[in-house]
Each structure stands twice: as structure tokens, then as C-alpha cells.
Amino acid sequence: MTDVLHSVREGRLLRLTLNRPNKRNALDAALCRALVSALEQAAADHAVGAILLTAHGTAFCAGMDLGEIAQADNAEEINTVHEQLFTVGARLGKPLVAGVHGAALGGGTGLVANCHIVVAGPEASFGLTEIRLGLWPFLVYRAVAAGLGERRTLELSLTGRVFGPGEARDIGLAHEVADDAVGRAGEIARELAGFSPTAVQKGMDFVERVRGMDWREAGVIAREVRNQVFAGEDFQEGIRAFREKRRPRWPSVGGGDA
């Protein structure tokens, strides 16, 4: 746990909470470093099955810290840590679920796009607002485009417009809208944390590996990875548990069957 990021374990669920409420959880270098570190540690921890991302205060994340970014002497450090953060969704290998309340603008929208499942509250707002500052969402663009498509992401980047949870759901940035976004996101994350770590990791790695690949090449990889899962202990345990009508006890929770 750090001052800017709170971390709490709840069984196989890791809850990470952005904690710069007086700055509307703007992404300064310290918060970015803490978040990247926490996510990378979670990725390597067999005891963590899923991660829930929330925030303290009235905003989820107002984007980059403008006061810090204006200091030219640390621009490269900020670029590096932002690159690490805004590609984490493709590298994590474990489900990252967000419960979004209030504003998630600029880099906040990029952070949301890196999450694999997103629940938005009725007061949530989103937008790639960098153009209003004479900037472009360079580092978050790839993650947003992967989820929304190039044309939609380009439109949002050019207009800088802010939109609500209903449109976020309609275009695929959010998956659900719920009155209690954090509570609903927690339910989803806890359910995902109970699934086979091997199946989840192999599946998520497969999705990233075949992104943009010819479907025939992707099919070869799909058969290869599926055979690996078929031969693994988790799949055998899943079959036994199904037949015995009980909850599975995944061998890979202890680090095996990876």
C-alpha cells in the first residue's frame, strides 16, 4: 500500500484503489509507478485470480497530472511510466475489472480501456479530451482503438467530446451500467477470481497473441493452446468437479499447471 494507491487482498481478489481524491486521481508519476508495480506483482502472484480497480473521491481519474507534465525536465520519465501503464491490459494475463464513478477523462479513459471488464456508474463520464489542451492521446490511443475500433477512437480524439455511461456501454468502452458500479464490479471480479488460473491466463495470452493475425494462423495457435489446456491438471479437475457436482479445486492456484 502507498499513499496514492491503496491495495487490499480479499481472498483471490486484489482490490486497488486510486487515492489522490484532492487531485481527482490525476495520474502523476508516483501513482503510475505504484499502479504498474502493483499490477505486475499481481500478475506474478499465483494467489491472485483477478484485480478490481476503483477510486476514492468524486472522480475515477481526471487523466494526466497537468502540473507535473508541464515540467519538461521529467518528460521522459513520465513518458516511460505512461507507456508501461497504458499497455498493461495487453500484458497482464489476469482479469482487470473497473468500477467507474465520476469522471474518467483523457488518460482516465485510457486506463479504463486497459481494463478487461468495466462497470460504469450513472454519473460516470468519459472522453479523450487531450485535443482541448493542444495535445493528442498518443499513448492511450492503441488501447482505446483495440476496444472501440479506429474510426470511433479517431472521432473521439478529434472532437475531445465528453460522453456518459450509456454511450460508453453502446460503443463498448463499458460493459454494464449499474447504480452501484463498484459493488457490481466487485461481484464480477470475485467470480472471475474463482475460475481456473490456467484457463484464464492461457485464454488472455491467446487473445493478445492472435490480435490482427490471419485467421488460419490464429487457428493453428488456437489448436496448440487448447491441447495444452486439455492436457493440464486444471481441465481434468474441472471435469471431475462437474461430474461430482462440486466446486473445482484448481491445482494451478498453488502455482502448478501453468
In this structure, the answer to whether residues 154 and 203 fall within a common structural domain is no
First-residue to last-residue Cα distance in the chain: 28
Does residue 104 sit in the same domain as residue 232?
Answer: no
Number of domains present in the structure of the chain: 2
User: Residue 226's Cα: distance from chain center in Å?
Assistant: 24
Its domain, for residue 147, covers: 5-193
Q: CA angle, corner 134, sides to 131 and 136, nearest 5?
A: 50
What cell does 166 get? 450509456
Report how far residue 148's alpha carbon sits from residue 241's, in angstroms, rounded to the nearest whole number.
38
Residue 258 pLDDT exceeds 60: no
If one counts every other C-beta atom within 10 angstroms of the C-beta of residue 39, the result is: 23
pLDDT, the chain, mean: 94
Domain final residue pick, 193, 208, 242: 193
Residue 44 has pLDDT above 70, yes or no: yes
| Judgement on whether residues 97 and 211 belong to the same structural domain of the protein | no
Whether 47 and 168 share a structural domain: yes
Instruction: Return d(Cα 13, Cα 88) in angstroms, integer.
Output: 18
DSSP 8-state symbol, 119:
E
Of the residues 193, 226, 241, which one is the last residue of a structural domain? 193
CATH code of the domain containing 84: 3.90.226.10
Whether 211 and 91 map to the same domain: the answer is no
Element (H, E) at 54: strand 50-55
- Rounded to whole angstroms, how far apart are CA atoms 146 and 114? 9
pLDDT one-digit tens code per residue, 200-250: 999 999 999 998 899 999 999 999 999 999 999 999 999 999 999 999 999
Residues 100 and 215 in one domain: no
Question: Domain of 201: which CATH number?
Answer: 1.10.12.10
- Of 167, 193, 219, which one is at a domain's C-terminal end? 193
pLDDT of residue 171: 97
Active site residue 130: yes
Instruction: Tell me which of 10, 83, 130, 191 is the catalytic residue.
Output: 130
Distance CA 221, CA 227 (A): 10
Q: What is the pLDDT of residue 1?
A: 59
Q: Residue 114, class by beta-carbon neighbours within 10 Å (0-12 exposed, 13-18 middle, 19+ buried)? A: buried
| C-alpha cell recorded at residue 235 | 481441465
Residue 70 has pLDDT above 70, yes or no: no
